[in-house]
């Protein structure tokens, strides 16, 4: 048992109701899954139905909790909500599309993408360094709690990218080099001193 990896099935929630074909900074806004998004999560739940799952964790937003519940229903486990797994807070950009941000705050949008790691969007936004400071301790606790077992985290595109950067030993500047589509599945095996990323952005 001591040499067995701790396997993490890392899932991004499905499509949300306000997506409508264009990226939107939902951040901490509590939007629900669309019908397609729920179908995507049911596909993930089906893929994981035959796995031995010992714990299911989610951010405390409805779009991730609904996905975690779909997976949990197959295993008789109650999902655990953890606010540390919330999406990157987008401050006054929350609810806006890329184009709307550029139109309203052209200087801010330019500066943010020049310094992804440290820049905080005004009125409560987080930098990637801020997000890593809350997400990575949560990840480490989950991996430690399920040593040698299998666990699921249902989170967000930003959170998943932070976890993948950590597992791959990539600086956070590489954040946007890792795609995370709605309803995707990542698989990471954690050992005592390293991690092995077996699947990134798997679409079912």
Nearest to 165 by CA among 195, 143, 126, 191: 195
pLDDT for the residue 107:
87
C-alpha–C-alpha distance, residues 34 and 39, integer Å: 9
Three-class SS state of 80:
strand
- pTM exceeding 0.95: yes
Neighbours of 195 (CB within 10 A): 19
Give pLDDT, residue 1: 39
75 is catalytic: no
The pLDDT of residue 165 is 98
Q: 18, exposed or middle or buried, with CB in 10 Å at 0-12, 13-18, 19+?
A: middle
* Encoded tokens for 9: 């099935």
Q: Residue 51's closest CA among 78, 71, 81?
A: 71
* 22 is annotated as an active-site residue: no
Q: Pick the catalytic residue: 15, 75, 87, 146?
A: 87
- pLDDT tens across the length of the chain (204 residues): 357 999 999 999 999 999 988 899 999 999 999 999 999 999 999 999 999 999 999 999 999 999 999 999 999 999 999 999 999 999 999 999 999 999 999 889 889 989 999 999 999 999 999 999 999 999 999 999 999 999 999 999 999 999 999 999 999 999 999 999 999 999 999 999 999 999 999 999
Which domains does the chain carry? 6-21+32-89+126-202 (3.40.50.1240)
pLDDT of residue 187: 98
């Amino acid at each position: 048992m001591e040499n067995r990896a701790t396997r993490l099935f890392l899932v991004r929630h499905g499509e949300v109701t306000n997506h409508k074909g264009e990226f939107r900074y939902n951040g901490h806004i509590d939007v629900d899954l669309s019908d397609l998004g729920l179908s995507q999560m049911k596909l993930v739940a089906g893929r994981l139905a035959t796995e031995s799952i010992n714990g299911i964790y989610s951010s405390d937003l409805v779009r991730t909790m609904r996905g975690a519940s779909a997976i949990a229903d197959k295993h008789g486990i109650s999902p655990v909500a953890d606010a540390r797994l919330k999406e990157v807070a987008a401050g006054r950009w929350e609810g806006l599309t890329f184009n709307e941000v550029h139109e309203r705050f052209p200087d801010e949008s330019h500066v943010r993408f020049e310094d992804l790691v440290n820049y905080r969007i005004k009125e409560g936004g987080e930098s990637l360094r801020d997000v890593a400071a809350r997400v990575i301790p949560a990840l480490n606790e989950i991996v430690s709690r399920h040593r040698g077992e299998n666990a699921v985290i249902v989170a967000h595109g930003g959170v998943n990218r932070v976890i993948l950067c950590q597992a791959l030993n990539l600086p956070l500047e590489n954040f946007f080099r890792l795609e995370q589509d709605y309803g995707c599945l990542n698989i990471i095996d954690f050992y005592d001193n390293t991690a092995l990323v077996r699947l990134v952005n798997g679409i079912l």
